[in-house]
C-alpha cells in the first residue's frame, strides 16, 4: 500500500529509499513559481536520528504497518531489554540499543506500549511526562527555594540523570518530560 505526501500525518511511518522513518512534522508549501513540495522532519527508526527532507507534492511512499501492544517491561541485561505480553505471558527480547532512550524513563514491571513496525518490535511509546523518584542528589540547603534559581544534577530511580531545582531532595517524586529529559515539576 502506498501513501502520498498529501496523506501525511504526524506519527505515521513511511519507507524512504529502503529506510523506515517516523514523520515528526510536515508542511505543504506552494510557492508562487514552480511546483508544490512538502518539507518534513523525519526520525529514522533504526537509530533515532532526525533529518529534514523535502519531497515533491504527490510523491508516493510505501506505508509501514505499525501496531501497538501492551507489554510489561521486565528488565534490561545490557544487550537486550526483556518484555512480557500481559495477555499471553509470551516473553520478548528487544535489542537494548533500539529502545535505549525510552528505557531511561521506564521502571522494571512498568506497563508500556511496545510499537511493532512491520511485525518487528521497534520502539516504546512513552507518555509525554512520567513521575519518578529521585534516588541520588546533593542535599537541599536552607534557603533553596523555587524562586532562588539554579539547578543541580539528580539521578532518578531508573538511572536517568536530570537537572532539578536546588530544593529537590532524595526521595522526592519529580515529573520529567520524556521527549527532552528535562525536569517539569514536583509530582
What are the sequence ranges of the domains in the chain?
2-63, 66-125, 129-186
What CATH number labels 2-63?
2.30.30.30
- Per residue in 27-71, pLDDT (tens digit) is 998 988 888 899 999 988 777 788 999 999 888 988 888 888 888
- Per residue in 140-151, pLDDT (tens digit) is 665 555 555 678
Contact 25, 40 (CB under 8 A): yes
The model's pTM is: 0.67
Residues 150, 57: Cα–Cα separation, whole Å: 48
Using the structure block, give the residue that is written with the C-alpha cell 512513552.
126
- Which CATH fold would you assign to the domain 66-125? OB fold (Dihydrolipoamide Acetyltransferase, E2P) (2.40.50)
Residues 176, 184: Cα–Cα separation, whole Å: 5
Residues 39, 7: Cα–Cα separation, whole Å: 14
Average pLDDT over all residues of the chain: 84
Same fold, 2-63 and 66-125: no
Average pLDDT over residues 93-101: 82
Domain 129-186 has CATH 2.40.50.140: yes
Amino acid at each position: 500500500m502506498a501513501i502520498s505526501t498529501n496523506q501525511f500525518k504526524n506519527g505515521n511511518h513511511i519507507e524512504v529509499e529502503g529506510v523506515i522513518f517516523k514523520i515528526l512534522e510536515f508542511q505543504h508549501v506552494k510557492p508562487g513559481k514552480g511546483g508544490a513540495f512538502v518539507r518534513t522532519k523525519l526520525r529514522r527508526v533504526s537509530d533515532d536520528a532526525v533529518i529534514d527532507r523535502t519531497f515533491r507534492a504527490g510523491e508516493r511512499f510505501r506505508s509501514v504497518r505499525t501496531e501497538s501492544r501492551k507489554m510489561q517491561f521486565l528488565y534490561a541485561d545490557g544487550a537486550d531489554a526483556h518484555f512480557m505480553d500481559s495477555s499471553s505471558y509470551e516473553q520478548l527480547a528487544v535489542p537494548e540499543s533500539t529502545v535505549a532512550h525510552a528505557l531511561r524513563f521506564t521502571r522494571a514491571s512498568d506497563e508500556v506500549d511496545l510499537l511493532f513496525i512491520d511485525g518487528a518490535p521497534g520502539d516504546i511509546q512513552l507518555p509525554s511526562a512520567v513521575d519518578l523518584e529521585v534516588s541520588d542528589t546533593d542535599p537541599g540547603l536552607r534557603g533553596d527555594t523555587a524562586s532562588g534559581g539554579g539547578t543541580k544534577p539528580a539521578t532518578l530511580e531508573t538511572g536517568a540523570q536530570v537537572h532539578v531545582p536546588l530544593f529537590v531532595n532524595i526521595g522526592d517524586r519529580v515529573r520529567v518530560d520524556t521527549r527532552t529529559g528535562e525536569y517539569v515539576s514536583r509530582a
